[in-house]
Amino acid sequence: MLHVADSREQFAQSLRHGRGSAMQYVQQHGLAGVADDVLAACLQNQAYDPQCEGSRAPWLYSMFRDTPEYPRFAAAICAALEVERDNHHDLLQLIRLARVMAQAGDQVAAQALRRRFSPQVMQIEDAAWYEGARALIELDGVAMIVRLGRYLGQCLASEETDLPTLDSLLDGFEIADEGESILRQLAADDQAIRRYLVFTDAARECARLQEEVPLERRQQERHARTRRELTLEGILAAAGRAEDQIPGRYMRFGRSATLEELHTVLQCLETESRDEVCLRLLWVFRRTPLPVLTPKVWACVRRSPGKLSDAALTALGQTRHADIACFAREALRGRHLAEEDAALLELFVFNYAAGDAALIHAALQSACTDENTLHAMGHSLLSLCKENPVTEIAPLLVWIYEQTPCTICRYSAVKLMVDQNSLPPSIAEECCEDADEDIRGYGRIILEVVRG
């Protein structure tokens, strides 16, 4: 837990990461000295990966809800909601904050949402349209469902097809069935609503037909499509032209390639002198084990830190071999870990042995502290811990929990500690106040067990 003596920088970091220690501090000491930090976190989404991490709006709201600072916070949030246009993730957070404020009876926040997102004002092209529409449904119920249904039907008349279905729009609302029933009653005399319901019904039928196809058959069809799309000749030609700046196409090919094709790729790598081509050939093994360890792979590993050495390390990390284990341990000793060394940690995923956890934990103490490095390290360590669920990895999971800036990685670390019965009660208490609802749930489970 953070204490008054702890620095404002530590509080700001805990707040930015969404850790329960920030909430514990506010609960114990109020907003004195940290109000500006909390307000900044409300106005700008500080999540490490806001596209994937859950909403922090209820968590942030609870920090200022019952404080003398509420009028200041509410005014700033509503003002920002009116003008924010540039940052999609900031706007989504402002909508969600205004929504929880309106749910609690703040009529100013409710009117701010209506002014910004009423069907007469907002456009379907607005990236935040969906979130704003759901906020209005929360406020105005079935009447808003009818207005939105009519508006979306009018959009369909303009050949706009990238629209949310009714199921998506009403997901989680208790009034979903009532709202759809009224729409179907009105559809008889309202062409726009009728058009939107036809669109929704077609999407439902498509989803139903897809679900009827057995999973194994869908996987086989996906594999067959990949084999048709990505041939050995095509991949080698693309690599030779140094096509693509990301590994996706090469990685997909590797996952569907035959053993003979993988050997052919390695043979081409052995004779290739151009780094850009070697890089793309190594990308084939980004999620696929090397069929054999070749001299060229080792040569790439020992290059100066960069894309090529990182790709070679990643390829080794997919492979189980005694030589890889020896190399990883030797490389880790006395090393000052930086972001590019996350791939080095992945060498232990399939080559872990008793005692490696202590070696890794010692090396982590000298790791760089910038957030990208901490996230990369934590992500690699999670793969290691999932593959090797032994008691001695517990300190690595605690390190991930304490150091990662990513809520998703923190959740994974907590879940693994719960599964292995190694979540310390002190961390469980902090988890109970985390920004992430699932982490809070795990914390409560452990404390209930501890307290009997």
Q: Residue range 121-143: average pLDDT?
A: 86
The yes-or-no verdict on residue 4 having pLDDT over 50 is: no
pLDDT at 335: 78
Q: Residue range 335-348: average pLDDT?
A: 86
Please tell me the pTM assigned to this model.
0.89
Between the alpha carbon of residue 407 and those of residues 5, 17, 256, 434, 436, the distances in Å are 26, 7, 32, 9, 7
Contact between residue 382 and residue 389 where contact means Cβ atoms under 8 Å apart = no
User: What is the Cα–Cα distance from 384 to 251, expressed in whole angstroms?
Assistant: 21
User: What is the Cα–Cα distance from 275 to 293, expressed in whole angstroms?
Assistant: 19
Confidence of residue 47 (pLDDT cuts 50, 70, 90): very high
Q: Residue range 332-356: average pLDDT?
A: 89
User: What is the Cα–Cα distance from 226 to 325, expressed in whole angstroms?
Assistant: 33
Q: Position 342: which residue type?
A: A
Cβ neighbours around 161 below 10 Å, total:
8
**Mean pLDDT, all residues of the chain:** 92
**291-303: burial string, b at 16+ Cβ within 10 Å, e else:** beeeebbeebbee
* Residue-wise pLDDT tens digits, 392-427: 999 999 999 999 999 999 999 999 999 999 999 999
pLDDT at 149: 95
* Residue-wise pLDDT tens digits, 259-312: 999 999 999 999 999 999 999 999 999 999 999 999 999 999 999 889 999 999
pLDDT at 87: 85
Copy the structure tokens of residue 287.
């999620």
* Residue-wise pLDDT tens digits, 164-182: 999 999 999 999 999 999 9
Confidence of residue 125 (pLDDT cuts 50, 70, 90): low
Confidence of residue 452 (pLDDT cuts 50, 70, 90): low
Contact between residue 351 and residue 321 where contact means Cβ atoms under 8 Å apart = yes
Copy the structure tokens of residue 55.
């909403």
The yes-or-no verdict on residue 25 having pLDDT over 90 is: yes
pLDDT at 137: 95
Between the alpha carbon of residue 437 and those of residues 19, 52, 76, 350, 441, the distances in Å are 11, 14, 26, 32, 6
Q: Kindly state the percentage of the chain with pLDDT values over 90.
A: 79
The yes-or-no verdict on residue 15 having pLDDT over 90 is: yes
Contact between residue 416 and residue 410 where contact means Cβ atoms under 8 Å apart = no
Q: Residue range 347-361: average pLDDT?
A: 95
User: What is the Cα–Cα distance from 19 to 124, expressed in whole angstroms?
Assistant: 35
**79-91: burial string, b at 16+ Cβ within 10 Å, e else:** ebbeebeeebbbb
Which SS3 state, helix, strand or coil, does residue 258 take? coil
pLDDT at 207: 87
The yes-or-no verdict on residue 34 having pLDDT over 80 is: yes
The yes-or-no verdict on residue 218 having pLDDT over 90 is: no
Contact between residue 396 and residue 356 where contact means Cβ atoms under 8 Å apart = no
